[in-house]
A and B are shown apart, each in its own frame.
Chain A
């Protein structure tokens, strides 16, 4: 049973527009959420995170929104750039075991010039 779900395997967005990547989770004990970006032939790299005490965290063009009641988070990229084309993984960890991180299956984003 997948505890972290990313129901869209892929997403295409025009350059300059907003990209919205969604993530749902089932475990109410999840306390800390992270997004990673992965280019082909490279390991994932950390992008942005959010603690459950917040509902929004922003870093430049990247903003993560958390809706705890809906067990849903989303990553917004605005404006999208061709270099943002990558696979994005949503990840979560519980308060009781912060280093046990569960990854979602990933969403492949293509930003079209």
Chain B
């Protein structure tokens, strides 16, 4: 399909391990976002990429979190030394980067840290 895809859909890891989450945005979308949704909470902004500009990392909760994007395609979100409070659904979204800034979301990756 032509939508945003994320992998894996579910990830269970042990506390202290590193995890890598992947997002494939819609082709041609210049903007890419990562959000986190903890159980019973709203969408928490993590990081935003727009074209070749420096990413907006203002939402990253700690230096254990990092993200990269290759050009205007795939992005990976890496969480080092995972903690139990990192357990959440991690959502990726992309948008055309124009004024009509509707975001298209992927299905999310459910991360469980034991």
Contact = CB atoms under 8 A, between A and B. Distances in A.
Interface of A: 6, 32, 34, 36, 41-46, 49, 89, 93, 98-106
Interface residues of B, number: 25
Given A98-B99, A99-B50, A43 B45 contact: no
18 contacts: A6-B42, A34-B101, A41-B108, A42-B107, A42-B108, A43-B106, A43-B107, A44-B43, A44-B93, A44-B105, A45-B105, A49-B102, A89-B43, A99-B97, A101-B101, A101-B103, A103-B45, A105-B42
Q: Chain A interface mostly helix, strand, loop or mixed?
A: loop
Contact of B43 (A41, A46, A49, A103): A103
Contacts of A42: 107-108
B42 A104 contact: yes
